[in-house]
Structure 1
Amino acid sequence: MKQRILSLIFLLTYPTIVLSQVAEELNPPNFIKTITFKSNTTQGQLPILKLGESLKLEFDALTGNEEDFYYIIEHFNFDWTPSTLVKSEYLKGLDNQRILTYENSFNTYQIYSHYTLNIPNTQTRALLKSGNYMISIYDDYDEMMFSRKFMIYEDLTNVGVKVKRSRDVKFIAEKQSVDLVITTDNNMNLNNPLETIKTVIIQNNNLNTAISDLKPQYTLGNELIYRYDTESAFWAGNEYTFFENKDVRAANIGIQFIELKELYNNYLYTNISRKNRPYTYNPDINGNFLITVLDRDNPDVEADYVMVHFSLLHNELKDKDIYVYGNFNAFMIEPITKMEYNPEAKRYETIMKLKQGFYNYKYVAVDKVTGVIDEGAISGNFWETENNYKVLVYYKDLGARYDRLIGFGEATSVNISN
């Protein structure tokens, strides 16, 4: 009897436990590559769209079998727990539909199929609410292949963003701080903003390092002001290292030499630690990537895949692992980006299969016990580094059932001030 009661309690509480879980992105298996979001001006970045704008997701499947894939779209709260909205409240039409648009690669060593999903489409006609979303891609066997987050905002507030040097003297040379001013017009009253307003600050499109849920410090008329000393400070990092292999048959930027085996192999110049070296400005695209190919009309299906050889001259770290890090895999730490130490060459090495293009990357150290990422362990942290900051403003009024995303602001540290 006691066992039955315990089982009943578990069954009653289990749905609550599931609903409270925080959603995490899932990276794809090795045969799915080059997941990108596109808009009119950008590719591969974290998609933050205005309500009513279209979303375009693209990816490659390297099996050559013209696989069938399906998509599901879900709505989430500010903290990435599932919202209480039913699907018909935030989605007009249907999801769980097959992705119909795909093309096979042309004149490439690596055979692949390139898939394109546009939202809205004839089945999924509109996304109706602002807030956080997750799009998940499934195969024919209902197994999730990967998932990606995106956001939709309503332009109801003005979000002023300024980047400052850290106000903490101990880290003034290594950190950057973000100040915010959220302004509403007279037609929108924010009730009890200390409880109903939530913010997220994102550096270089990397959700892993985002700072969230800062409270406004001051209210001045219709302005909410955030000027924290330490709570809104990020490690400044360093400019990303990069390479370009749009010409697969010739060494280009960052590539020392090439070799043709089953696929082309690109051997990058060996990188060194920049942590204890002076800062040098070197324009980058803040960890992003761009698919490009020389003398071809359609990079989506005419760009080839290349085995890219990374190497880092560094003494072996006993308590940490080294990974290649960038937006090419949504800044995730996973086995394919882990580097192995070569004691004969005294350097870390790894090989990754990447589509032709322009890539930003850097090396990070991950504690073997805690899993904590130290982004500055190899590259260093310098206050002069050019970084991009995006700010999202969420509002959940008293009695409301979901977090509206009511404002979006953006700034770079090019004009950083004290």
Structure 2
Amino acid sequence: MTKNLYSILLLLLSPTLLLSQAVEVSPPDFIKTIKFKSNTTQGQLPILKLGEPLVLEFDALNANEEDFYYVIEHFNFDWTPSVLAKAEYLRGLDNQRIMEYYNSFNTYQVYSHYKLQIPNIQTRGLLKSGNYMISIYDEYDELMFSRKFMIYEDLVNVGVSVKRSRDVTVIDEKQSVDLVVATNSINFNNPLETIKTLIIQNNNLNTSISDLKPQYTLGNELIYKYDTESAFWGGNEYLWFENKDVRTSNVGVQFIDLKDIYQSYLYPNIARAGRPYTYNPDLNGNFQVTAAERLNTDIEADYTMVHFSLLNEELKDKDIHVYGNFNAFAIEPLTKMEFNPESGKYEVSFRFKQGFYNYKYVVVDIDTGELDEGAISGNYWQTENNYKVLVYYRDLGARFDKLIGYGEATSVNISN
């Protein structure tokens, strides 16, 4: 049964699925280093201007040279499926095989590197702004993974400023984001209902704040200055390591070993919550693939087994995970740390492609699944964070949510 026919039957049999929100599916363990590329970013949440090419790359570590297929779907602001037909938002065809792939060269870890660029011969472009999901299937129609991305039109100006929290009880731990949406090209009809916003901290959709309503209208400007609703925990600067040279220790790497592949043992980390804040420049959770003395890192960068360790007392009813954009901030069994009573450390190891990586340790409640990013790292108002703001608009009688504006700011120049 084809994927398209299967989707049609599901919708006919269960209309309630139309209201279900799309969630990203994490890949199996043999698929690594999923990243989107553009002229300015790598490994980050892709927010593209309408007409800009989309480039998705990933590695398959099973050395089978498998065939993979991609499907693209359009979604509403709240990630429920839009009513647009495929031909309305996509020029050409999807459900096509990824044609471009290369095998690794001169590496201990054998892998195939896949690259998909849109537009291509079969999929000639995306026609509408808004939310999208790209899903990758294998030749047996099994879903391997999915990733969200956004396409915007530059129709409004989005002013973004970062302030210390106006709530004095958390003024030392939180940051608040103020917005101004202005335009001369659109007459907003009933902006309380037709305008929707999304604020994203450090490219992490899991902690985003959505659907704030404008508090004031001043001429052609919509103003958002909330006390608590637009506030984020400040967090702390990310930890990092670099293993661009697998034969010697690099930044954050205590020592290395060679077994079936290279083993990189990081320096043990300690809990930073409650300690004085220290500024260290980071990538806000992101990563950069790089390898010393390699011309083409796509296929010449090797994989190493990276060993993490955290000096911390054993927690009851809570798990500790390694967290970052290396896996789109997913909480999964692969990232779960185990407590070693002999060493008094939480430990875990998994594979990373050579490069520069940000990470932190987070706590997850076993019963509720609630994530606490600051339990190990702490929360500080001084932390340098990146904030992206997306503005959506659905005019009266329209059939989908347009993404009409995009703004960005950092907390480097945070003010009271």
Q: What residue in structure 2 maps to residue 335 of structure 1?
A: 333
Q: Which amino acid aligns with 1:358?
A: F
1:387 aligned partner: 385
> Do 2:11 and 2:18's aligned partners in 1 also have CA atoms closer than 8 Å?
no
In structure 2, the residue matched to 1:220 is: 218
- Hey, what's the Cα distance between the residues in 2 that align with 1:153 and 1:262? 45
Q: How many residue pairs get matched? A: 407
- Between the aligned partners of 2:167 and 2:113, the Cα distance in structure 1 is 48
C-alpha distance in 1 between matches for 2:19 and 2:193: 20
Q: Give 1:319 deviation, angstroms.
A: 1.7
- List per-residue Cα deviations over 1:294-317 (Å, max 9, x = no partner): 001000000000000000000000
1:3-402 aligned at under 5 Å gives the runs 15-185=14-184, 187-402=185-400
Distance 1:119 1:272 in 2: 43
Tell me the amino acid that sits aligned with residue 294 of structure 1: A
Instruction: Give how far 1:12 is off.
Output: 9.8
- Helix, strand or coil: the match of 1:248? coil
For the residues of structure 2 that align with 1:196 and 1:14, how far apart are their CA atoms? 31
The amino acid across from 2:49 in the alignment is K
Q: TM-score, normalised by structure 1?
A: 0.97
> TM-score by structure 2 length?
0.97
Q: Distance in 2 between matches of 1:307 and 1:223?
A: 52
5+ unaligned residues in a row in structure 1: which ranges?
1-10
1:65 Cα deviation from its structure 2 partner = 1.3
Partner Cα separation in structure 1 for residue 81 and residue 335 of structure 2: 30
Shift of 1:14: 5.1
CA deviations 1:226-270 (Å, max 9, x no partner) are 000000000000000000000000000000000000000000000
- Separation of aligned partners in 2, 1:362 and 1:44: 17
Quote the offset at 1:41 in angstroms: 1.5
Post-superposition Cα deviations, 1:82-105, rounded to whole Å, max 9, x if no partner, equal: 000000000000000000000000
1:4 aligns with none
Alpha-carbon distance in structure 1 between the residues aligned to 2:124 and 2:381: 45
Letter of the aligned partner of 1:25 in structure 2? E
Tell me which amino acid in the other structure corresponds to 1:73.
I
> Could you tell me which amino acid in structure 2 is paired with residue 375 of structure 1?
E
Q: Distance in 2 between matches of 1:18 and 1:85?
A: 16
* 2:83 aligned partner, one-letter code: T
Which amino acid in 1 is paired with 2:298? Answer: D
> Per-residue deviation at 1:16?
2.6
1:127 shift after superposition: 0.2
Letter in 1 for 2:43: G
The corresponding residue for 1:3 is none
The CA distance in 1 between the partners of 2:30 and 2:164, in whole Å, is: 43
Q: What amino acid sits opposite 2:191 in the alignment?
A: P
Alpha-carbon distance between aligned partners in 2 of 1:295 and 1:42, rounded to the nearest angstrom: 22
Pair 1:169–1:345, CA change in 2 (3 A):
same
Q: Is the 8 A contact 2:11 2:17 kept in 1?
A: no
- What letter corresponds to residue 376 of structure 1 in structure 2? G
Distance 1:29 1:136 in 2: 13
Q: How far did residue 276 of structure 1 move?
A: 1.1
What is the aligned-residue identity percentage? 76
CA-CA distance at 1:133 after TM superposition: 0.1
Measure how far apart 1:15 and its partner are.
Answer: 3.3
Please tell me the residue identity of whatever aligns with 1:199: T
Moved over 6 A (4+): none
Q: CA RMSD in A?
A: 1.0
Letter in 1 for 2:243: N
Deviations 1:16-54 (A, max 9, x none): 311100000001001100000000121000000000000
CA distance in 2, matches of 1:67, 1:12: 30
* Paired amino acid for 2:120: N
| Other structure's SS at 1:88 match | helix
What is the rounded CA distance, in whole Å, between the counterparts of 2:281 and 2:367 in structure 1? 35
Q: What is the CA–CA distance in structure 2 between the aligned matches of 1:247 and 1:17, rounded to whole Å?
A: 52
Inter-partner Cα distance in structure 1 for 2:11 and 2:55: 39
- Report if the CA contact (8 A) 2:54-2:119 is conserved: yes
- Aligned partner of 2:395: which letter? D
Q: Secondary structure of the equivalent of 1:290?
A: strand
Gaps of 5+ in 2: 1-9
Work out the CA distance in 2 between the residues paired with 1:213 and 1:345. 46
Give the SS at the match of 2:351. Answer: strand
Q: Are 2:290 and 2:354, in contact at CA under 8 Å, matched by a contact in 1?
A: yes
